[in-house]
Amino acid sequence: METSVSGLAIAAVLFLQFSVNSSCSATRSLPSRSTNIEYIKTTCYNTTLYPKLCYHTLAIYASTIETDPKLLASTALNVSLRNTYSTSRLMKRVSKLPVLEPRVVAAMLDCTEEVGDSVYELQRSMEEMGHAGGSTFSKAMSDVETWVSAALTDDDTCLDGFTEEVMDKKVAAIIKRHIQRTARLTSNALALVNRYASTQASLP
């Protein structure tokens, strides 16, 4: 799993860089960067449920994204994937702690499986995103939206089952914080994917 996710993340970065390099020069002026950041900020605040998180996690990629809605959506997916994978690894490590009660371990393992499914679904969404174009655009984007929606559902299911009545309060607080961030990043990615799909569908 680690190798495939790492490879996918690297491939996504290379894809983003190639797309930018093929469409613009290497030299960028300060006003251009300002425009790119403003584009990301405006889009995040007009589109997503968690605009501050959206802006702060995507603004650092402004020079790559520029004002391209596809690159914005793709980058959001990649950020969500990397965060979800990190959360999955954390869950696995915590579930192996010898001090945890059996019921806590069981809850952790259930949640770990949900987050693992989310990783797979985000991987698939990024693969489909690469196929979005031409006559296959609508079908590919529909598949992307389906995979990201499934990933968000898995995150929410994990979060819903992670009650303090079952878990140690300290453990629950730590894990819930990570799961909430993961779910919010995925929610933002889905919103940006939906925006890109609807924007392109409206073009003549």
Q: How far apart are CA 59 and CA 102, in angstroms?
A: 42
> How far apart, in Å, are the Cα atoms of 2 and each of 18, 51, 119, 122, 128?
24, 30, 11, 14, 20
pLDDT reading at 2 higher than 60: no
Average pLDDT over residues 178-188: 95
Q: What are 104's two structure tokens?
A: 């806590």
CATH number of 2-201: 1.20.140.40
Tell which wins on pLDDT, 115 or 31.
115
Q: Are 83 and 118 in contact (CB under 8 A)?
A: no
Confidence class of residue 11 from pLDDT cuts 50, 70 and 90? Answer: very low
- Phi first, then psi: what are they for 186, rounded to 5°? -70, -40
- For the ranges 24-33, 53-62, 141-150, which has the lowest average pLDDT? 24-33
Least Cα distance to 152 among 164, 140, 160 occurs for 160
The residues, any chain, with a CB within 8 Å of residue 47's CB and separated by 6 or more, are 54, 191, 192, 195
pLDDT of 105: 77
pLDDT of residue 116: 93
pLDDT in tens, 98-128: 877 777 777 788 888 999 999 999 999 999 9
pLDDT of 38 > 60? The answer is: yes
Going from N- to C-terminal start, the domains of the chain cover 2-201
**Of 191 and 112, more confident:** 191
**Would you state the pLDDT for residue 19?**
45
pLDDT score at 147: 96
CA gap 46, 184 in Å, rounded: 16
Check whether 202 has a pLDDT greater than 70: no
Pair of tokens at residue 34: 């300002």
Per residue in 40-84, pLDDT tens?
A: 999 999 999 999 999 999 999 999 999 999 999 999 999 999 999
Residue with more model confidence, 173 or 53: 53
Residue 21 confidence (pLDDT)? 45
pLDDT at residue 100, as a whole number: 75
